[in-house]
Amino acid sequence: MPITVILNPASARGKTHQQWPQLDQALQAKLGHVDYLETNAPRHATQLTRQALTQGADWIFAVGGDGTLNEVVNGFFSPEGDLINPQARLSVLMSGTGSDFVRTLNHPSKALDALPHILQAEPRQIDLGYAYLGDDLGQRHYFINIASFGLGGAVIHRLQNTQYYQKINGKAAFLLSTLESLARFKSKPVRLCIDDAFTLTTRIQQVVIANGQFQGGGMKIAPQARLDDGYFDILILEDQPLLPTLHAFSKVYQGTHLSSGLLRHFRARKLEVKPLSQDVPQLEVDGETPGRLPARFEILQQAIWFQG
pLDDT digit string, tens, across residues 108-140: 878 889 999 999 999 999 999 999 998 888 889
The residue among 37 and 184 whose pLDDT is bigger is 37
* Domains along the sequence of the chain with CATH: 3-121 (3.40.50.10330), 129-306 (2.60.200.40)
Neighbouring CB atoms inside 10 A of 14's CB total 10
Taking the C-alpha atoms of residue 220 and residue 234, their distance in angstroms, rounded to an integer, is: 14
pLDDT digit string, tens, across residues 218-256: 899 999 999 999 999 999 999 998 888 888 888 998 999
Residue 165's identity, in one-letter code, is Y
pTM of the model: 0.92
Instruction: Give the lowest-confidence range in 10-24, 61-75, 88-102.
Output: 10-24
The answer to whether the beta carbons of residues 105 and 90 sit under 8 Å apart is no
Neighbouring CB atoms inside 10 A of 139's CB total 13
pLDDT at position 17: 82
pLDDT bracket for residue 107 (50, 70, 90): confident
The answer to whether the beta carbons of residues 93 and 62 sit under 8 Å apart is yes
pLDDT at position 166: 67
Q: What are the DSSP calls for 235-283, one per residue?
A: EEEES--HHHHHHHHTTTTTT-GGGGS-EEEEEESEEEEEE-SSSPPBE
pLDDT at position 167: 67
Taking the C-alpha atoms of residue 146 and residue 214, their distance in angstroms, rounded to an integer, is: 8
The residue among 167 and 19 whose pLDDT is bigger is 19
Whether the pLDDT of residue 89 is over 90: the answer is: yes
Whether the pLDDT of residue 1 is over 90: the answer is: no
The answer to whether the beta carbons of residues 84 and 54 sit under 8 Å apart is yes
pLDDT at position 170: 67
Neighbouring CB atoms inside 10 A of 133's CB total 21
